[in-house]
Amino acid sequence: MKRLTLVLSAVFALGFGLPLAATLLATDPVDLDAIYRIKDEGLQVQRSKVMDIESYLTDVYGPRLTGSPEIREAADWAMKTMKEWGLANVHAENWPFGRGWQNQRFVAMALTPRAYPLIAYPKAWTPGTNGPVTGEAVLAIIQTDQDLETWRGKLRGKFVLTAAVPNVNPQFDAPGRRLTDAELADVSKQPQVNVGRGRGPGGGPNALQAQQTFQRKRAQFFVDEGVVALIDPSPGSGGTVFVQGPANVSYDPKAPLQAPQVVMAVEQYGRIARTLEKNVPVTLQMDIQSTFLDTTLTSFNIVGEIAGTDKADEVVMLGAHFDSWHAGTGATDNAAGAAVMLEAMRILKQSGLKPRRTVRLGLWTGEEQGLLGSRAYVKEHFADRTTMQLKPEHAKLDAYFNLDNGTGVIRGVYLQGNEGVAPIFEAWMEPFHNVGMATLAIRNTGGTDHLSFDEVGLPGFQFIQDPIEYDTRTHHSNMDVFERVQANDMMRNAVIVAAFVYDAANRDDKLPRKPLPRPAAPPATQAR
Ligand SMILES: [Zn+2]
């Protein structure tokens, strides 16, 4: 179906009836010699560096929470490495963020009625306990003003279990998988729009505001009551703990402190709660040392280039977010994307190919806090989203390619509604049909840094990837670690990205663009 559509649009657009392949070759010849050299450098185990980069970014320097000392060390290593490869113009560009945070120590045990170690992690940007603290656990589910009154004066020195014990279902489906042909066919179709009227559940902005007000009141209540720590059950199971920051986190050094907060493996949370239900007291001990870092309130993006030749003033960008959450080492989210993009740059440089346009890598931080780094970069270089005032560089950027969906091999590209690029990408994918990359999705995909470019009318694209274990196991969890990263997929991804970037850099014309959007405030984005 997809091919048929393309043949028809190509025929109508060009006004003659050549077969699709001939049409595409006529308009977008792929330099197969260059593709050979890219594959040769990137697919040989002895020469590929992608898993070596991945190991540095995770095992040595991970996790890479925005504003933490770890991410700065990781950035120093990445920039040093880029310089060793001979990349040009390697530097960091600062942007205002807020306070950093680092956890130095976390120990959690149940002491009575039985002693056992607990699998748990502190939420980012919550304070520590000021040394080891022992106290009783209590289940206190607080969702209304009435609940606040019920529990007032009863929680001092307690570990508060904040939610009912979740159901844990058997895992009949394998956690890891590849996209099926049927799923890829579905992704390639225009999605159904929701034509239902009304705002749907949630009740609109007033209800949201009321909820946020109550959350702030609840957070202050726990501080005033003097709880030791709040404990949430992890939404994962099998020892996997998904943990980010508190819902109403603030990076402002002047914001009021919250109580220490912890996410615990659901099975142990359940054991404690079920013991309490039998009126058997449970004593816990935790030692949480966490530090707020207020000396540097900026974060940064990392940039590096391969200079172009006859079109050097025009730029093709590739990028990925460099930051992660903190419980694992941020291996699939998003050391995988950053390592692939770094390796793509290394391949292009090492292969000796000469891109006509300048190729520029951007590694962003603050993605997990809402695409903050890439939006700051786009505003600084290309356009202000709110006013749609364009800077001169806006006209010079050809395209931006992003990777942020874990370790899985690339199966295609999301077009973000830009149908003009479909026949071009179709031609560029041809040499990668044999690794399963053959799908163009007209639909948008959200949640990551290509949006920062797309929302100011620049061609920004995110690749379609096999999910592997992304949503089931690794994404924002303590199991986002090196072992979950697949070397073959990573090597292929670096080669595909290098080829796409080279194709774009050496094309006679820049890629077609969508019409410019009207000025608007950027929407709050739920980051991936
Ligand atoms: Zn993420």
pLDDT grade, residue 203 (50/70/90)?
low
Q: How far is the CA of 518 from the centre of ligand 1 (A)?
A: 28
What pLDDT is attached to residue 335?
98
Ligand 1 center to residue 51 CA distance, Å? 20
Cβ(290)–Cβ(126) below 8 Å = yes
Q: Find the 475 Cα to ligand 1 centroid distance in Å.
A: 6
Asked whether 486 and 431 are in contact (CB, 8 A), the reply is: no
**Could you tell me the distance, in angstroms and rounded to a whole number, from the CA of residue 336 to the centre of ligand 1?**
11
**pLDDT, tens digit, for every residue of 72-130?**
999 999 999 999 999 999 999 999 999 999 999 999 999 999 999 999 999 999 999 99
Tell me, in angstroms, the distance from the centre of ligand 1 to residue 196's CA: 30
The pLDDT value given to residue 193: 76
Å from CA of 138 to ligand 1 middle = 32
CB count within 10 Å of CB 17 equals 10
Strands 397-402 and 460-465 turn out to be parallel
> From the CA of 513, how far away is ligand 1's center (Å)?
28
Q: Give the distance (Å) from ligand 1 centre to CA of residue 88.
A: 29
Question: What tokens were used for 305?
Answer: 């280039």
pLDDT digits (tens, 9 = 90+) for 422-456: 999 999 999 999 999 999 998 888 889 999 999 99
Query: 9 pLDDT exceeds 90?
Result: no
Enter the tokens of residue 402.
Answer: 């992003």
Predicted confidence at residue 58, as pLDDT, reads 98
Average pLDDT over residues 51-67: 98
pLDDT band (50, 70, 90) for residue 205? confident
Measured over all CA atoms, what is the biggest interatomic distance in the chain, rounded to whole angstroms?
81
367 CA distance to ligand 1 middle (Å): 7
Residue 274's closest CA among 384, 385, 430, 165? 165
CA 334 to centroid of ligand 1, rounded, Å: 7
Find the 16 Cα to ligand 1 centroid distance in Å: 46
Question: 49 C-alpha to center of ligand 1: Å?
Answer: 24
* Separation of CA 386 and ligand 1 centre (Å): 25
Helix (H, G, I), strand (E, B) or coil at 49: coil
DSSP 18: -
Per-residue pLDDT reduced to its tens digit, 164-187: 999 999 999 999 999 999 999 999
Residue 477 CA to ligand 1 centre (angstroms): 10
- Give me the pLDDT at residue 447, please: 86
Q: Residue 423 C-alpha to ligand 1 middle, in angstroms?
A: 31
What gap in Å lies between CA 415 and CA 471, rounded to an integer?
23
Question: Phi, psi (5° rounding) for residue 107?
Answer: -130, 130
> How far apart are the CA of 328 and the centre of ligand 1, in A?
12
Hey, what amino acid is at 25?
A: L
Only one residue has tokens 């045990």, namely 109
CA–centroid distance, residue 176 to ligand 1 (Å): 18
* Residue 12: band (very low, low, confident or very high) from pLDDT cuts 50, 70, 90: very low
Q: How sure is the predictor about 15, in pLDDT bands with cuts at 50, 70 and 90?
A: very low
Residue 389 alpha carbon to ligand 1 centre in Å: 30
What is the distance in A from the centroid of ligand 1 to the CA of 497? 20
Average pLDDT estimate for 261-266: 98
Token pair for residue 483? 């072992």
What is the reported pLDDT for 136?
98
Query: In angstroms, what is the span from residue 23 Cα to ligand 1's centroid?
Result: 40
**324 CA to middle of ligand 1, Å?**
6
- Going from the Cα of 445 to the center of ligand 1, the distance in angstroms, rounded, reads 14
Residue 472 DSSP one-character state: I
Q: Determine what percent of the chain is predicted with pLDDT higher than 70.
A: 93
How close is the Cα of 360 to the center of ligand 1, in Å? 23
**To the nearest whole number, what is the mean pLDDT of the chain?**
92
Tokens (6 digits) for 528: 């991936």
CA distance 101 to 128: 11
pTM as predicted? 0.93
Calculate Rg over the CA atoms of the chain. 25
Nearest to 260 by CA among 350, 98, 132: 132
| pLDDT at residue 24 tops 90 | no
Six-digit token string for 182: 């049927």
- pLDDT of res. 528: 72
Helix spans in 314-454 (H): 336-351, 372-381, 392-396, 422-429, 450-454
Task: Report the pLDDT averaged over residues 365-376.
Answer: 98
CA angle 264, 476, 452 (to 5 degrees): 145
